[in-house]
Structures are given as structure tokens and as C-alpha cells.
Amino acid sequence: MQWSSEGIVIGSRKQGDSNLLLEVLTPDRGRCYGLVRGGRSRRQQPALQLGNQLTLTWRARLEEHLGNFSIEPMNLRAANLMQSAFGIHGLQTLCALLHLLPERDPHPALYHALDVILDHMEAPEIASVLMVRFELQLLNELGFGLDLKKCAATGTQEELIWVSPRSGRAVCRQAGQPYAAKLLPLPPFMKNTQLTATANAQDLKNAFELTGFFLFKYIFEPRNIIWPSARDSFLFELTRIAAATEEKAD
């Protein structure tokens, strides 16, 4: 059994004295594991860091076996990602969220989203918006997508400013006003599908609280999974950067 693909490193751990068990996300085969023989050597280690994009060949006698990876570097972005706390925590957050995916279950949209985010991690104002979209896509592909296109009560597509924490559906201003204290704010940029959409600090805070609420409600809590501390660290860095930017502007 053999297949070849590209993949992004999302995890690794030691296997014996010199080998490495590599975890990658691929566009066509999903989240996969493979043994890299000699992966802990000085020659191979730089290519096997989180966030790096590789060309992979997987081989095993049977498909259900662990298998071995042969790798070739494709896009070694790990060194750049590790230059800032924002990049480090952002990368760790993405990897932690991707661990929620079933093994060997293809999610090409998430793969391409990951690729784009990692290429923009040096620009927090872009990466943060992309991260929100990534979390929305993750919820959708795990079967818990939010409906942000029309009001749950009236069906209108106008003035959608809240989301129901019970149903995950958008609520318009008129229908939601009596229940405003119980609803989650819906930032305007989350309804804009354009990659050029921008958001201010308060919108980003509300957006991550929104996606975080449903990630915890639908996935982490039911599965009894520990909440990733890297996400909290990422949001702390995002807040710090936003505050520094506003202070500089003043």
C-alpha cells in the first residue's frame, strides 16, 4: 500500500532512539500518522517542525497499519512562525483544533485554510480574521455549523447582530431586542465572505468568544477534552498587539 501527497506538520513525538512519529494534515487523506526513520537526526529535524509543508510518500503493507513516511521539504515556514509569540500560539492553536478531526478523514477546505493562515501569520490583522473563519469552518465540518445568513425568528437577512447560544442561528435586531442580554454578539465581518474583510479589536474579541462558545459546547465539553491553553495565549497576544497598535495611533 502506497500513496503520495503534500501535507502540513501538525504534530510529532519521539519513537525510539532516532525515529519520529509524524502527524500531518493532507488535503486528500486528512489527518495522518507515519513513522519517519531517522527523523530525530540533525539532517531531518528542521524539516519536521510544526507548520512546515512537505511532500510525502506513505508506505505500509496494509492500509490500517501505521506506515512509514518518506518526506521532501516543500515550504519550511516554521522558523518564521517561531519568531513571535503570536505566531507560536497561533500555530499551536491550529494544531490543537485539528486534532479534533477524525484520523484519515479528508477535509480539503481546512487544509487550504491552514495553508493560507500560516502564510499570513506575520500579519495579525489578517491572520486573526482568517482564524475566526477557520474555527467556523471547523465547526461546520464537524457537523455543528452556525447559520449566520438569516434570522432564526423572522427569516430576514437584514440587521443580523446576534447569535442564539441555544441554536447557533443568527438573530436580527428587532427579534432579539427583548433577549439581548442572553444572545451572543455577531460581528459584521463574520457575515462577509471576502478575504479582504477587516475587523476592529472589539469585533475580534466578540468573534472568538462566539466561536469559542460553540467549540466548547459542541465538541470539547461533550468529549471531555481539555480546552487548549494555546488558544487563550493566542487571544492574549492578539489583545496586546491591538492595544499597542491603538496606543501608537494615538
**Domain shared by 117 and 47, yes or no:** no
pLDDT, position 197: 67
Site of grid cell 503520495: 4
Query: What's at 78, amino acid-wise?
Result: A
d(CA 53, CA 7): 6
d(CA 116, CA 34): 24
Per the structure, the complete domain to which residue 128 belongs is given by 81-148+186-249
pLDDT tens digits, 131-149: 999 999 999 999 999 999 9
pLDDT, position 196: 56
Q: Among 52, 76, 100, where does a domain finish? A: 76
**Domain shared by 195 and 242, yes or no:** yes
**Domain shared by 213 and 114, yes or no:** yes
Phi, psi dihedral angles at 164 (to 5 degrees): -75, 125
pLDDT tens digits, 184-220: 999 999 987 665 567 899 999 999 999 999 999 999 9
pLDDT, position 242: 87
Order across the sheet with 184-185: list the strands: 170-172, 160-163, 184-185
**Domain shared by 28 and 67, yes or no:** yes
pLDDT tens digits, 155-169: 999 999 999 999 999
Distance of CA 119 to the CA centre of its chain: 13
Q: Which helix (H) or strand (E) holds 160?
A: strand 160-163
Residue 80 has a CB neighbour count (10 Å cut-off) of 14
Radius of gyration of the chain (CA): 20
Ramachandran region, residue 159 (left: φ > 0; alpha: ψ -120 to 50; beta: rest): left
Determine, yes or no, domain membership for 17.
yes
Q: Among 58, 76, 94, where does a domain finish? A: 76
Distance, first Cα to last Cα, the chain: 61
Q: Which helix (H) or strand (E) holds 144?
A: none
> Rounded mean pLDDT of 11-26?
94
**Domain shared by 219 and 199, yes or no:** yes
- CB-based contact 135:109 (threshold 8 Å): no
Determine, yes or no, domain membership for 168.
no
Count of positions (residues) in the chain = 250
Q: Among 61, 76, 91, where does a domain finish? A: 76
d(CA 237, CA 220): 23
pLDDT, position 123: 93
Residue 17, domain CATH: 2.40.50.140
- CB-based contact 138:100 (threshold 8 Å): yes
Site of grid cell 519521539: 14
pLDDT, position 64: 80
Least confident of 37-41, 141-145, 198-202, 227-231: 198-202
Domains in the chain, number: 2
d(CA 70, CA 56): 6
pLDDT, position 43: 92
Residue 233, classed as helix, strand or coil, is helix
pLDDT tens digits, 42-100: 999 999 999 999 999 999 888 888 899 999 999 999 999 999 999 999 999 999 999 99
Residue 243 has pLDDT above 90, yes or no: no
**Domain shared by 90 and 200, yes or no:** yes
